[in-house]
């Protein structure tokens, strides 16, 4: 959850806007004079095309002050990725090695390809994510790689690591299909939907119900039902700075982690150290199709195109026309008033984004 945004179009073009103090928008050039550098660090108020190097973008992730994009051939008629090689590009701040370019401390002004050593070529990327100072990537074959800072175990490499400037494989028996970065923790989803976590557990964001000590390797998140320990299995999950929200295979909406602004949606400002059911109308509860975590707020999209929100609302990011926090999800009435059906939602540092269509077109 950063102060810059990136979006890719259906034909693989990349646009960026927002904070650009470390060139994280990717609109710069390799040749920089002191004057041009000041200009190119200027914040961008409207979407701007990223550097020409990045084309055929199939995925993009924004960190606190860096961006990572995956490029590769795309079947534009079907919108599906081909089986050909993907490439990984990065730009922005590299103060903590979060770009993976082996040049720690040097800002990268424009998209630069990085190498993932010990990985058979060609390869396809399944998922990529950026946190505050670390980055994660998983291939289509389930191999997970991490780089950046790992003081709290967020890299999942088995120990506390100050900085890892090269992508390093996470050695685990689990094969993953998704990776998600929080502020100082990481969440992994296996091919069968089981969730693991590692990193800082200061706010219970790992969901492991034990001490608040950090975990240095991914550990399965479990729940106890009738004295039986079970792994949670998810259809979708989203990760905020210090909290997580998911939709389980049984269509239950669960949250855990920090709840000081009401972002867990459980009716309290307290945190939850294990997955806990969100408080929402039971009928709607069974019809949640997507969840999105911002830094400290949460959005929930229903199958009928309605949106609920809870958590931090200081900047109007809950969409209720107020700047107050909410600890129980409330419907954003604007979309109903405008006869709009929302198809997708995203949440960032203090912003919420929805893609909607007139209900008459649905």
58-111 per-position pLDDT tens digit? 888 998 888 998 988 653 334 455 556 888 998 888 999 988 887 777 788 778
- Reduced to 3 states (helix: H, G, I; strand: E, B; else coil), residue 341 is strand
> What residues does each domain of the chain span?
1-114, 116-232
Question: In whole angstroms, what is the distance from residue 43 CA to residue 41 CA?
Answer: 6
Question: In whole angstroms, what is the distance from residue 2 CA to residue 98 CA?
Answer: 14
Quote the mean pLDDT of the chain: 85
pLDDT value for 58:
86
Question: In whole angstroms, what is the distance from residue 37 CA to residue 22 CA?
Answer: 10
Question: In whole angstroms, what is the distance from residue 356 CA to residue 279 CA?
Answer: 25
Confidence class for position 12, pLDDT limits 50, 70, 90: low
pLDDT exceeds 80 at position 268: yes
Question: In whole angstroms, what is the distance from residue 89 CA to residue 215 CA?
Answer: 29
Long-range contacts of 351-356 (CB under 8 A, 24+ apart): 351/5, 351/294, 351/315, 351/317, 352/292, 352/294, 352/297, 352/299, 352/309, 352/317, 352/318, 352/319, 354/299, 354/307, 356/305
> Are 216 and 223 a contacting pair, CB within 8 Å?
no
CB 284: neighbour CB atoms within 10 A?
Answer: 17
pLDDT value for 33:
31
Cis ω for the linkage preceding 138 (within 30 of 0): no
In angstroms, how far apart are the furthest CA atoms of the chain?
66
Q: Determine the average pLDDT of the residues in 9-23.
A: 64
92 or 186: which leads in pLDDT: 186
pLDDT exceeds 50 at position 32: no
pLDDT value for 361:
62
Question: In whole angstroms, what is the distance from residue 131 CA to residue 185 CA?
Answer: 8
Instruction: Output Rg (C-alpha) for the chain, integer angstroms.
Output: 20
Confidence class for position 53, pLDDT limits 50, 70, 90: low
pLDDT exceeds 50 at position 280: yes
pLDDT value for 11:
67
Of 212, 232, 229, 211, residue with least CA distance to 277: 232
pLDDT value for 57:
82
CB 132: neighbour CB atoms within 10 A?
Answer: 20
pLDDT exceeds 70 at position 156: yes
pLDDT value for 108:
80
What would the pLDDT profile of 290-349 be if each residue is shown by its tens digit?
Answer: 999 999 999 999 999 999 999 999 999 999 999 999 999 999 999 999 999 999 999 998
pLDDT value for 2:
52
pLDDT exceeds 90 at position 163: no
CA 11 to each of CA 199, 230, 234: distance values in angstroms, whole numbers, following the listed order: 36, 42, 30
Question: In whole angstroms, what is the distance from residue 132 CA to residue 280 CA?
Answer: 31
pLDDT value for 29:
45
pLDDT exceeds 70 at position 124: yes
């Amino acid at each position: 959850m950063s102060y810059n945004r990136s979006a890719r179009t259906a034909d693989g073009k990349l646009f960026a806007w927002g904070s650009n103090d470390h060139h994280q928008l990717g609109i710069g050039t390799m040749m920089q004079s002191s004057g041009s550098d000041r200009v190119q660090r200027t914040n961008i108020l409207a979407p701007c095309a990223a550097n020409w190097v990045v084309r055929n973008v199939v995925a993009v992730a924004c960190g606190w002050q860096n961006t990572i994009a995956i490029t590769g051939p795309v079947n534009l008629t079907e919108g599906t990725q081909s089986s050909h090689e993907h490439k990984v590009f990065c730009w922005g701040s590299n103060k903590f090695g979060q770009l993976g370019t082996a040049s720690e401390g040097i800002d990268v002004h424009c998209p630069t390809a990085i190498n993932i050593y010990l990985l058979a070529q060609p390869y396809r990327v399944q998922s990529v994510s950026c946190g505050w100072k670390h980055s994660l990537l998983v291939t289509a074959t389930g191999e997970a790689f991490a780089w950046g800072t790992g003081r709290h175990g967020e890299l999942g490499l088995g120990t506390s690591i100050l900085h890892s400037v090269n992508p390093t494989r996470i050695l685990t028996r689990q094969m993953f299909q998704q990776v998600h970065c929080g502020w100082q923790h990481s969440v992994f989803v296996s091919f069968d939907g089981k969730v693991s976590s590692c990193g800082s557990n200061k706010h219970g964001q790992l969901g492991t119900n034990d001490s608040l000590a950090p975990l240095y390797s991914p550990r399965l998140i479990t729940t106890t039902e009738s004295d039986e320990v079970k792994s949670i299995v998810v259809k979708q999950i989203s990760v905020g700075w210090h909290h997580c929200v998911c939709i389980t295979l049984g269509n239950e909406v669960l949250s855990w982690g920090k709840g000081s602004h009401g972002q867990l949606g459980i009716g309290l400002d307290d945190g939850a150290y294990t997955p806990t059911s969100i408080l929402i109308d039971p009928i709607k509860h069974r019809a949640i199709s997507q969840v999105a975590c911002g830094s400290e707020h949460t959005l929930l999209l229903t199958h009928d195109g309605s949106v609920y929100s809870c958590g931090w609302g200081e900047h109007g990011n809950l969409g209720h026309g107020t700047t107050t926090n909410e600890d129980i999800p409330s419907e954003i009435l604007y979309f109903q008033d405008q006869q709009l059906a929302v198809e997708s939602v995203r949440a960032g540092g203090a912003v919420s984004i929805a893609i909607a269509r007139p209900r008459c077109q649905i």
